[in-house]
Amino acid sequence: MKTTMRFMLVMLLSVGVASFAQELAPAVTHNSWTSGTPMPTARWSGATGAIGKLIYVIGGCTGDSVTGVNEIYNTKTKTWTTGAPMPTPRFAVASAVVNNILYVFGGSDNGSDALNVVEAYNAATDSWSTVASMPTARNSLSAVVDKGIIYVVGGYSNGSRLSTVESYNPSTNAWTEEASLLVGKSEPAVGLLGTNIVTAGGLSNSGPTGDNENYAVKKNKWSTLTADPTARQAQCSGVISGALYVARGSGSSGPLSINEAYSPKTKSWTTLAAMPQPSAGAGSAKLGTVLYCLGGSDTGVLGSGTAYDYVQIYQK
């Protein structure tokens, strides 16, 4: 009898603890947007990356100037702190995280010139180092990681949108030239879907495009996918649950709020809840099933327009 009563008591306590935990856990509203604490420095087209529960937003354009500021968002406490600034202030960069090191590629320090500098931020030591430069100087480029290798895609240089794709191996500090995009474009949304890299949208030499391409990493070959119904560039994007989510961006008539997702299984696009505040050039960071879109602009042009301090958060 005592054993039975003890068992029942343990069961009741377990149920009570579980119920209490459920009450404390915040409710999840799927396909919805919320706002986080605004960034201390309003800007666009900076480097972003998530390390643990922290999101790093580095560099960017504040409207009439280029900055190297490094601000860190704690997604648990919803507070901002400051880290060591990037040695080379710049915007229109690409960024990626490998082994808790955030790499920042290329960009521009004046709105026109293209850089090939690559700097690496060690969050554990709050310090920067310079690594091997990109073979091709460019700005308005994108980056994605596959098995520890960073693929740097597209970009802009010398008046032309580029089809250039180069890969960087952090372990050897070496670059490799890869097969070119089918369509030269800058600021596309990129993501790793399974063993393939998908590159959607961007700005081509003829304007914003919905061009969507698949890169088979093992075959080093690009092929065409179902185009994004919304032609745009400078999107906030991330891969969640096997689909590429693409929000915001700039179309032929300016900043957009539309939010879409591409599924490689159905080879189709789905329209989702629109972003509350439209903008272009927002930084992207993904944690679990949550996409963070940070900052942005109404023009994306150095010396004009408004820089935003938005932290807009999408829950799948």
What are the tens digits of pLDDT across the range 85-131? 999 999 999 999 999 999 999 999 999 899 999 999 999 999 999 99
DSSP label at residue 127: E
Domain 29-315 adopts which CATH fold?
Neuraminidase (2.120.10)
Residue 172's pLDDT is: 98
Which residues neighbour 62 within 8 Å (Cβ) at sequence distance 6 or greater? Answer: 41, 42, 43, 307
Q: What number is the average pLDDT over the span 63-81? A: 97
pTM to 2 decimals?
0.92
* CA dist list (Å): 7 to 14, 19, 84, 224: 11, 18, 55, 61
Residues sharing a CB contact under 8 Å with residue 100, sequence separation 6 or more, in sequence order: 51, 52, 122, 123, 124
Structure tokens at 303: 């010396």
Q: 41 near 309, Cβ under 8 Å?
A: yes
Q: What are phi and psi of 269, to 5 degrees?
A: -105, 145
Give me the pLDDT at residue 303, please.
87
pLDDT-based confidence at 13, cuts 50/70/90?
A: very low
pLDDT reported for residue 137: 98
Q: How far apart are CA 247 and CA 310, in angstroms?
A: 14
pLDDT (tens digit, 9 = 90+) per residue, 195-254?
999 999 999 999 999 999 999 999 999 999 999 999 999 999 999 999 999 999 999 989
The pLDDT tens digits for 240-291 are 999 999 999 999 989 999 999 999 999 999 999 999 999 999 999 999 999 9
Domains of the chain: which residue ranges? 29-315
Question: How many Å is the Cα radius of gyration of the chain?
Answer: 21
